Amino acid sequence: VVLSFLQHCAGGQEQHRRFSVDPQLTSFDILKNLIGRAFDMKGEFAINYRAVDDYGGEAYLPMVSDWDLSAAFLSASDPGTEP
């Protein structure tokens, strides 16, 4: 699965990163470590994922566990493409 990440920085700047992960081998802790290294973040940070309900409503939900990571993979409308 190809994941796209966006970091909102102070001053309105944004940084984008994309990389591939295997959902069978990637845990939440591994993903958080990968994101931290990709954006060179030293402290705590939050991860949110995009979810769309049956009516097309969009929400960004917090990802804090392996269960949330699984839900993010399952709720992806088209894994491997950008929204």
pLDDT tens across 15-32, in order?
A: 888 888 888 999 999 999
Is residue 82 domain-resident?
no
Q: Is the pLDDT of residue 66 over 90?
A: yes
For the chain, count helices (H), then strands (E): 2, 4
Q: Which pTM was predicted?
A: 0.76
Per-residue pLDDT band at 68 (split at 50, 70, 90):
very high
Query: What are φ and ψ of residue 44, in 5° steps?
Result: -75, 150
Q: Which domain holds residue 40?
A: 2-77
pLDDT, greater one: 42 or 26: 26
Q: What is the CATH number of the domain that holds 61?
A: 3.10.20
Is residue 83 domain-resident?
no
Is residue 70 domain-resident?
yes
Question: How many domains, in total, are found in the chain?
Answer: 1
Contact 5, 20 (CB under 8 A): no
